[in-house]
Amino acid sequence: MPEFDPTIFKAYDIRGIYPDQLDDQTGYLIGNALAVYLKPEQVVIGRDMRLSSEALFDAFTRGVTDAGVDVVDIGLVSTDGLYFAVGKYGYDAGVMITASHNPKEYNGFKICKNEAIPLSGRDGLNLIADLAAQNDPKIRPERGAVVRRDISADYTENCLSYVHSDALRNYKVAFDAGNGMAGLTLPPILARINLESIHLYFELDGTFPNHPASPIEPENIADLIAKIKETGADFGVAFDGDADRMFLVDNQGRALGGDMVMAMVAQKLLADHPGETILYNAICSRAVPELISRLGGTPVRTPVGHALIKPMMREKNAIFGGEHSGHFYFRDNWFADSGMIAFLVCLELLSKSGKTLSQIISEIDPYFRSGEINSEVSDQREVIERISRSYDDGKQDRLDGLTVEYDNWWFNVRPSNTEPLLRLNVEADTREILKEKTDALLGLIRG
Which of the residues are catalytic? 100
How are beta strands 336-337 and 172-176 bridged, if at all?
A: unpaired
Whole-angstrom distance, CA of residue 352 vs CA of residue 166: 11
In Å, what is the CA distance from 235 to each residue of 24, 51, 196, 295? 42, 32, 11, 25
313, 279 Cβ separation under 8 angstroms: yes
299, 281 Cβ separation under 8 angstroms: no
- Please give the angle made by the CA atoms of 54, 56 and 61, to the nearest 5 degrees: 100
* Residue 192: burial class (beta carbons within 10 Å; 0-12, 13-18, 19+): middle
Q: Which residues pair with 415 in a beta bridge?
A: 422
Whole-angstrom distance, CA of residue 110 vs CA of residue 129: 13
239, 245 Cβ separation under 8 angstroms: yes
Strands, E assignment, 103-183? 106-113, 117-118, 146-148, 172-176
Whole-angstrom distance, CA of residue 251 vs CA of residue 243: 22
Whole-angstrom distance, CA of residue 275 vs CA of residue 20: 50
Whole-angstrom distance, CA of residue 330 vs CA of residue 278: 10
Whole-angstrom distance, CA of residue 446 vs CA of residue 157: 50
Whole-angstrom distance, CA of residue 380 vs CA of residue 375: 10
End-to-end CA distance of the chain: 44
322, 260 Cβ separation under 8 angstroms: no
